């Protein structure tokens, strides 16, 4: 699939298990079937049986609704570590190389977090917002980044991305607010 294109999926009722390992660390397990929203174009995509190994770095924002229910939003990045073609029993990278790919990705992300944070401060709907935008590794060209993770007033708002038709965010539905954030980012680069 070309860079910039996207898929939309629906997930069946899945199983999410989590176990507290330390006061701030949880081990998670999630298993589910995901289904494409709509139909795949004829002859497109990987063959049946193809497998992928992804590493997911994400924010999970959870809010308690009642004694037994929570709303959950997950936003972040997934990085392809390796793949296995349907007609091959071997992964595209051996375990040590997969580990090296993961280390490279994590080092790039840490570098972005440590070095290239864009400060944000804006007024919107009579409210002051302060925070930062962290460029997503691999989305910068000639010193300008086109996708950033946004934190405002100590809350993660997800990833903002610049496109031909303007700024977009999945978690923020108010397009005028998204545009205001995008304008602050543009001012940083001017």
Which pLDDT tens digit goes with each residue over 64-87?
Answer: 999 999 998 888 888 999 999 999
| Sheet architecture: strand order including 127-135 | 118-124, 127-135, 147-152, 155-163, 166-169
33 touches 68 (CB < 8 A): no
**Average pLDDT for residues 102-118, to the nearest whole number?**
87
Q: Does the pLDDT at position 5 exceed 80?
A: no
29 touches 21 (CB < 8 A): no
* pLDDT computed for residue 163 by the predictor: 86
Q: Does the pLDDT at position 182 exceed 80?
A: yes
Q: Does the pLDDT at position 109 exceed 90?
A: no
């Amino acid at each position: 699939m070309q860079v910039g294109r996207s898929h939309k999926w629906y997930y069946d009722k899945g199983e999410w298990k989590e176990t507290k390992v330390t006061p701030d660390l949880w081990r998670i397990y999630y298993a589910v079937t995901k289904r494409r929203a709509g139909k795949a174009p004829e002859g497109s995509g990987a063959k049946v049986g193809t497998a992928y190994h992804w590493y997911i770095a994400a924010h999970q924002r959870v809010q308690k609704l009642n004694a037994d229910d929570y709303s959950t939003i997950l936003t972040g990045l997934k990085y392809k570590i390796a793949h296995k073609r349907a007609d091959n029993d071997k992964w595209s990278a051996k375990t040590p190389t997969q580990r090296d790919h993961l280390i490279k990705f994590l080092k790039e992300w840490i570098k972005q977090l440590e070095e290239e944070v864009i400060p944000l401060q804006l007024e919107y709907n009579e409210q002051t917002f302060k925070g930062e935008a962290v460029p997503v590794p691999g989305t910068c060209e000639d010193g300008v980044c086109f996708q950033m993770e946004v934190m405002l007033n100590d809350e993660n708002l997800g990833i903002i991305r610049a496109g031909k038709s303007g700024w977009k965010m999945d978690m923020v539905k108010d397009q005028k607010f998204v545009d205001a954030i995008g304008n602050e980012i543009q001012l940083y680069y001017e």
